[in-house]
Amino acid sequence: MAAIPLLELQDISLSFKGVKAINDISFTVGQGEICALIGPNGAGKSSLLNVINGVYQPDQGVIGFNGKSYRKMQSHQAAVHGIARTFQNIALFKGMSVLDNVLTGRNLKVKSSWIEQAFNIGRAPSDESTQRQKAEEIIDFLRINQWRNSIVGTLPYGLQKRVELARALAAEPRLLLLDEPMAGMNSEEKAEMSSFILDTQREFGTTVVLIEHDIGVVMDLSDHVVVLDYGKKVGDGTPDEVRKNPDVIAAYLGTKH
Sign of CA dihedral 199, 201, 205, 210: positive
Which residue, 198, 163, 191, is CA-closest to 32? 198
The least CB distance from residue 89 to another protein, in Å, is: 10
Does 196 bind another protein (CB under 8 A)? Our answer is no
Nearer to another protein, 59 or 128 (CB): 128
Query: What amino acid occupies position 116?
Result: E
Residue choice 15, 62, 70, 96 for contact with another protein (CB under 8 A)? 96
Pick the stretch among 108-116, 213-221, 223-231, 235-243 that binds another protein (CB under 8 A).
Answer: 108-116
Nearer to another protein, 120 or 238 (CB): 120
The least CB distance from residue 168 to another protein, in Å, is: 8
Which residue, 105, 70, 109, is CA-closest to 85? 105
CA gap 234, 199 in Å, rounded: 30
The least CB distance from residue 235 to another protein, in Å, is: 28
Q: SS3 for 127? A: helix
The least CB distance from residue 102 to another protein, in Å, is: 10
Does 150 bind another protein (CB under 8 A)? Our answer is no
Nearer to another protein, 16 or 119 (CB): 119
CA gap 180, 56 in Å, rounded: 18
Does 187 bind another protein (CB under 8 A)? Our answer is no
Q: Helices marked H in the chain — which ranges?
A: 45-52, 75-81, 98-105, 114-119, 124-141, 157-170, 187-204, 215-221, 239-244, 246-248
Pick the stretch among 4-12, 25-33, 96-104, 200-208 that binds another protein (CB under 8 A).
Answer: 96-104
Which residue, 191, 195, 197, is CA-closest to 209? 197
Residues making contact with another protein (CB under 8 A): 53, 55, 75-76, 78-80, 84-85, 87, 91-96, 100, 103-105, 107-108, 110, 114, 117-120, 151, 153-154, 167, 171
